[in-house]
Amino acid sequence: MRKCKIYLIFYLGLVCLLLSSCFDTSEPKETVRYRLFETTNRWTFLQLDTATGRIWQIQYDVEGDNRGGVVLNSQDLSNGIQRIPGRFTLYPTQNMWNYILLDQINGSTWQIQWSQEEDKRGIIGSIFRFQ
């Protein structure tokens, strides 16, 4: 009887471990086409097309009509070459309004700025571009 309990506890522990790994969302999945990145503004996310580098500023609202999205970068930064999910990713900076967009295939980077003001948002330019 005691042996059965030990096996049962071991089995349940193994099942819990396997199930928790199936639902682990702490690490990004490199094969997904679109990802949402949190900003320090609780109402605003950045949506990235990980295959092309296109980015949208997404805002939600729980009480009013201040929800929607605007384009931060509409340009296909892959130039149609190796357009594969997971190619691009975003990194936050110490400035809450700015992120670094990284091309994980060729190492090129761009400065991305989000804002509530139209003239202060977008892709600011290439920081470093491998040739």
Residue 111 or residue 7, greater confidence = 111
**Any idea which of 14-28, 66-80, 94-108, 110-124 has the lowest mean pLDDT?**
14-28
Q: How confident is the model at residue 66 (pLDDT cuts 50, 70, 90)?
A: confident
What does the pLDDT average to over 15-42?
Answer: 69
What does the pLDDT average to over 1-20?
Answer: 59
Is the pLDDT at 1 greater than 80? The verdict is: no
Q: Which two three-digit tokens encode residue 90?
A: 């975003």
> How many residues make up the chain in this entry?
131
Residue 64 or residue 87, greater confidence = 87
**Residue 116 class from Cβ within 10 Å (0-12 exposed, 13-18 middle, 19+ buried)?**
middle
